[in-house]
Amino acid sequence: MHPDTERLLADIAEETRQTRFLTGIGELDSRVMAAMAAVPRHAFVSQELHSRAYDNGPLPIGHGQTISQPFIVALMTALLRPEACHRVLEVGAGSGYQAAVLSRLVTRVYTVEIVEPLASAAAERLKTLGYGNVEVRCGDGYRGWPEHAPFDGILVAAAAPHVPQPLLDQIKPGGRLVIPVGQPYSAQELLVIDKLDSGELRRRSVLPVAFVPLTGSLGH
């Protein structure tokens, strides 16, 4: 474990407590915290940012994209309610950090990244670090990954102006979608959408967030 990991975990725990009146979560699942502890965040940022890798904030990864704030990664992971038998889809692989965290909690992670250099780098990084249950594809995340659908859970790491219908279609009954929704660089909210066994959708807003915009078909 990196020497700064304990400090980061303490920061995540404190922010979880401070936002509990919004999220309804006062303490994150121990499995989620263990996954956060096990993933070396410095391996997912450039060398010059290693000294800031364990700060509880987002960092640039190039191409106008960021690696998300660790608290948000942990919260979204917890909201997805991952189980060991689950197969999940991530939209917006970025550096591969969120996928690495998820990979320690589920059977299989499929992650889509529209920026080809980021997708290639994430795939190579995850392979080198030994995350063998993650598959990366360069593509339009708005469309999901229909070849591997349906998914037990879908996590979207970029803000969409509305919830993409293809992603709703690719959730299993009993599954869950966690997605930030709102206009770019404006008011956004983190939504949890449950698909009931009947196919009915139930959604709730968790807290205000700030994400880079989801690109691809959604903007056309």
Active site residues: 68
Do residues 141 and 211 lie in contact, with contact meaning Cβ atoms separated by under 8 Å?
A: no
| Cα separation, 156 vs 76, whole angstroms | 9
| Cα separation, 167 vs 155, whole angstroms | 10
Assigned token pair, 138? 């360069």
Angle between helices 30-38 and 70-80 (to 10 degrees): 140
| Cα separation, 220 vs 160, whole angstroms | 12
Q: Is 199 exposed, middle or buried (0-12, 13-18, 19+ CB in 10 A)?
A: exposed
**Dihedral of the CA atoms 174, 175, 181, 184 (nearest 10)?**
-160
Nearest to 169 by CA among 135, 134, 208, 142: 142
Do residues 59 and 46 lie in contact, with contact meaning Cβ atoms separated by under 8 Å?
A: no
| Cα separation, 172 vs 153, whole angstroms | 8
